[in-house]
Amino acid sequence: MFSRTVIALTPFFGRLTVTSEIKMRLPEGSIFVANHDSLADPAVVMAALRSFDLKPVVLATAGLWRIPLLGKALSREGHIPVHRGTAHAALALDAAAEALAGGRHVLLYGEGGLPRRRDAAPTPPEPFRTGLARLARTTGAMVVPIGHAGARRIASGSPTKQLAGTLTAPIRRPRCHVHLGAPIRLPSETDRGTRAAHQAVTAAWRTAVRAAGEPALTTTH
């Protein structure tokens, strides 16, 4: 119910367009990995995936589970809390592996957190953590890179700016674009797999930036 509600409301906050390089039927238990630069982008990405009838389990910060009603809704739909910076952080990968083994797709964010920038402009994905590569190696799952742009026009900056942006987004309706790259198999070596995933998501992000009409940026990591 939570995911359906979020997806239904997303079009009111922006103009979402989606493109895809996927030419095959995805095998059950695939991993989607996206760049993460706004509190609004999970809703944008989920709405884009739902347009392809894809309903992944999402790995999200455990803090969301402390919000009344929201945490129960997330658990009910099978989403996975990530306790970053604690001894329990690895449990999220174990839960993701179980979901993949059960045939469910999984969506995660390779950067492991949001950037500290306060401006609304898009910049390339920050370096990835190794969890994605380790999960792909353990499960043998296919990885689908996702790039998106425009969500920072809905919510970015200080908490006050994020609130103001969210409240005015239905009037401004900023353009958001999500691009699904071609599925890949990551190299089994962790560092190489992490770099390959980062490169693929960065390429998808550049496609999304162009489609969203955002200024071309040259910053790289």
Q: How confident is the model at residue 164 (pLDDT cuts 50, 70, 90)?
A: confident
- For 2-59, how does the pLDDT look when each residue is reduced to its tens digit (9 = 90+)? 566 666 777 778 889 999 999 888 999 999 999 998 888 888 999 999 999 999 999 9
pLDDT for residue 220: 46
**Residue 101 and residue 94: Cα distance in Å, rounded?**
11
Residue among 47, 57, 51 at smallest CA distance from 8: 47
- For 93-112, how does the pLDDT look when each residue is reduced to its tens digit (9 = 90+)? 999 999 999 999 999 999 98
Residue 106 pairs in a beta bridge with 31, 57
Q: Per-residue pLDDT for 221 more than 50?
A: no
pLDDT for residue 107: 96
pLDDT for residue 122: 84
Mean pLDDT estimate for the chain: 87
Average pLDDT of the residues in 176-204: 97
Q: How confident is the model at residue 216 (pLDDT cuts 50, 70, 90)?
A: low
First to last CA, the chain: 38
Q: Per-residue pLDDT for 1 more than 60?
A: no
**Residue 57 and residue 59: Cα distance in Å, rounded?**
7
pLDDT for residue 3: 63
pLDDT for residue 5: 67
pLDDT for residue 77: 79
- For 62-85, how does the pLDDT look when each residue is reduced to its tens digit (9 = 90+)? 777 777 777 777 777 788 888 876
Q: Per-residue pLDDT for 134 more than 80?
A: yes
Token readout for 52 is: 């392809």
Of 121 and 7, the structure prediction assigns the larger pLDDT to 121
Neighbours of 23 (CB within 10 A): 7
